[in-house]
Structure 1
Amino acid sequence: MVRICTWNLENLFLPGDDAGPETGAAYQAKITSLADVVATMDPDVLAVQEVGDVAALTDLGERVGGTWHQATAAPDRRGIRVGFLSRLPLTAVRQWAAFPAGLRPVQVDDTPVSSSTMGRPALQVRVNVGGRRIDLIACHLKSKLLTFPGGRFSTDDEGERARFGAYALNRRSSESVTVRAAASRRLGALVGSAAVVVLGDLNDGPEAATTQILLGPTGSEIGTGGFARPDAGDRQRLWNLAARIPEEQRFTREYRGRKELIDHILVSHALVGLVADGAVTTDGAGPVPSITDDPNDRRGEPGSDHRPVLATISL
């Protein structure tokens, strides 16, 4: 059995950083609150998002206790990145950022500047569980919360709102294609037996087009008539474990009072049959606060504005 988790830690910075807690006491309260949840969930592998300072991630592992192996990707312009804390040794560490061949650069704002890379690189690692090799790819796709020129989080110009919404959607789509290309490479390397997990904050629900890009060939989703029927597409498919979460738990964030499931774990054919109904939970951290469009509203607050997703895979 292996327990795999993903959690957006919400601006895990050291005290004094622009997005971090203003005092040492507030920082310690955040580390303690996060560590209590991790200790309760007891994952073997934890993918994390919004890590500002790598030292803060180290502090989190030390506060939980025991031995943790750690890996992080390069940060984005805001200084946050994805990473892993793992009880299992991490090998074959690789970062993915550049769009795959054939995918053109995307417009990111009103300037002529375009981008051909992920805003936040994805991170691939490998663990070994009882002789079974599992490749994991952590990602944090472009947020649905928009940032306008000058660092504004709101606008009265509806044309500007529409344009920047399109820029964010196009970027999130291209990032999803990039992560899918990384997963396809691993799935193709070990045809029929590749144990691959893609997980993280996708910033969209299970039915969103950006999330669906990651699935690969259609027609065999959990809960459909094709799920139990093997076919040639299985070797390249990923299955979203959202359907294994108890219905009342199918949310990881509250935005203006609306529950959203935007954090996901997707697994390959070698693993999907090893995850039972109810073996995936988002209840590890309990309730979450309802957020607004301004991420600065919760600066220095303990805990996270996301619920973790934890999957138990019965190897």
Structure 2
Amino acid sequence: MVTVATWNIENFFSPGTEFGPATQAIFDRKVALLASTITSAGVDVVALQEVGDLGAFDALLAALGAGWTGQLSTFFEPSHAIRVGFATRIPVTATSEYADIPLQLQGVPTDDAGAALTRMGRGALRVRVAVNGNDLDLVSVHLKSKLLSFPGGRFQPHDEGERARYASYALLRRAAEAAAVRYFANDLLDGHGTTRRLMVMGDFNDGVDAATTQIVNGPPGSEIGTGGEDQPDAGDGWRLLNLAPLIPPDRRFSRIYRGNRELIDHQFVSRALRSSIQSVTTITGAVALPSIDDRATARKDAPISDHAMVVSQLDL
């Protein structure tokens, strides 16, 4: 049995940095709570999002203890250097990264100046681990947030026209990044999804039925919980199955936004992994999940993430 998780650990920076907490004590508490939540859940590999500086990442690995190692993406936006990564107590045998927006979508505008989108804001990172002699490829991703920012670093628009435009830019960017993730999955599957064990997971910043999330699924049909789930078809070599329907209904959320529960963190598996899934749930740890709003800097000193960890058990 292997336990695999994904967790957005929310602006994880060392104290004294631009986005970090005010004091070392606040940082130390967050590290301890992150590590204890991962350990208590019996996690073997966790895909991480919003990892900031390397010092913070090293502190988390040290808190997890002997045998834990980590990998971080080299792709991130310099203005806010959060990136995806992995912490694992299973040795990594191979890695690769992906960040290119598909050529046909590189004309997607990202602001009023018409700057084109050529690369994901946070690249996707793949690690390969071996479990009982079986190769398992795991991908960590973090798509564009629905939180809007405006020219000059503003978080409030000058007017409703500007708000509407930048909401559209964010949606277009998230859709283009979802397509990039799908391209990466295509490369890794190469049509062999019935035999290649692949899990793509992370913060997709949208719900199960959102168009951007659906892009990652691949060919429609045979989704978990549908009548065609157990019927092989020609799309199985490329399809990714969202594990969301397997989460108990009362746990089917990973964030609370303005009082509303949302599942925006997902785990997708190739057909070869579907029969291995034993359970899926969300875990919030010792501190209750808060309800958040659009104030981007309000949680710099928060004791733990505003996301729940999504955890699955696989029998390999």
Do both proteins adopt the same fold according to a TM-score greater than 0.5, normalized to the shorter chain?
yes
Do the aligned residues in 2 keep the contact of 1:82 with 1:120 (CA within 8 Å)?
Answer: yes
Aligned residue runs from structure 1 range 229-268, under 5 A: 229-268=231-270
Matched to 1:76, the amino acid is E
Task: Rate the CA distance shift 1:192–1:69 in 2: closer, same or farther, 3 A.
Answer: same
Aligned residue runs from structure 1 range 1-315, under 5 A: 1-74=1-74, 75-77=76-78, 78-155=80-157, 157-188=159-190, 190=192, 192-276=194-278, 279-285=279-285, 287-315=288-316
**Which consecutive aligned stretches of 4+ in structure 1 deviate over 3 angstroms post-superposition?**
none
TM-score normalized by the length of structure 1 = 0.96
Aligned-pair CA distance for 1:273: 1.7
Do the aligned residues in 1 keep the contact of 2:106 with 2:116 (CA within 8 Å)?
Answer: no
Give the Cα–Cα distance (whole angstroms) in 2 for the partners of residues 192 and 289 of structure 1: 39
Q: Give the total of aligned pairs.
A: 313
Do the aligned residues in 1 keep the contact of 2:192 with 2:238 (CA within 8 Å)?
Answer: no
Give the Cα–Cα distance (whole angstroms) in 1 for the partners of residues 262 and 158 of structure 2: 25
Aligned-pair CA distance for 1:105: 2.9
Cα-to-partner distance string for 1:172-213 (whole Å, 9 max, x where unaligned): 001000011111111116453010110000000000000000
Give the Cα–Cα distance (whole angstroms) in 1 for the partners of residues 85 and 77 of structure 2: 13
Give the Cα–Cα distance (whole angstroms) in 1 for the partners of residues 147 and 104 of structure 2: 28
User: In structure 1, the residue corresponding to 2:50 is in which secondary structure?
Assistant: strand
Give the Cα–Cα distance (whole angstroms) in 1 for the partners of residues 311 and 184 of structure 2: 22
Matched to 2:38, the amino acid is V
Give the Cα–Cα distance (whole angstroms) in 2 for the partners of residues 9 and 113 of structure 1: 30
Give the Cα–Cα distance (whole angstroms) in 2 for the partners of residues 170 and 195 of structure 1: 30
Cα-to-partner distance string for 1:220-254 (whole Å, 9 max, x where unaligned): 10110000111111111000000110001011001
Task: Rate the CA distance shift 1:224–1:191 in 2: closer, same or farther, 3 A.
Answer: closer
RMSD: 1.3
Give the Cα–Cα distance (whole angstroms) in 2 for the partners of residues 31 and 162 of structure 1: 38
Matched to 2:262, the amino acid is E
Structure 1 regions of 5+ residues with no counterpart?
none
Structure 2 regions of 5+ residues with no counterpart?
none
Aligned-pair CA distance for 1:101: 3.9
Aligned-pair CA distance for 1:66: 2.3
Give the Cα–Cα distance (whole angstroms) in 1 for the partners of residues 136 and 236 of structure 2: 17
User: In structure 2, the residue corresponding to 1:176 is in which secondary structure?
Assistant: helix
Q: What is the identity percentage for the equivalent residue pairs of Structure 1 and Structure 2?
A: 48
Task: Rate the CA distance shift 1:227–1:32 in 2: closer, same or farther, 3 A.
Answer: same
Task: Rate the CA distance shift 1:232–1:189 in 2: closer, same or farther, 3 A.
Answer: closer
Aligned-pair CA distance for 1:164: 0.5
Cα-to-partner distance string for 1:12-36 (whole Å, 9 max, x where unaligned): 1010111101111111111111111
User: In structure 1, the residue corresponding to 2:99 is in which secondary structure?
Assistant: strand
Aligned-pair CA distance for 1:52: 0.4
TM-score normalized by the length of structure 2 = 0.96
Aligned-pair CA distance for 1:154: 2.3
Give the Cα–Cα distance (whole angstroms) in 1 for the partners of residues 149 and 42 of structure 2: 35
Give the Cα–Cα distance (whole angstroms) in 2 for the partners of residues 115 and 180 of structure 1: 17
- Segment of structure 1 superposing worse, 196-205 or 180-189: 180-189
Give the Cα–Cα distance (whole angstroms) in 2 for the partners of residues 143 and 151 of structure 1: 15
Matched to 1:2, the amino acid is V
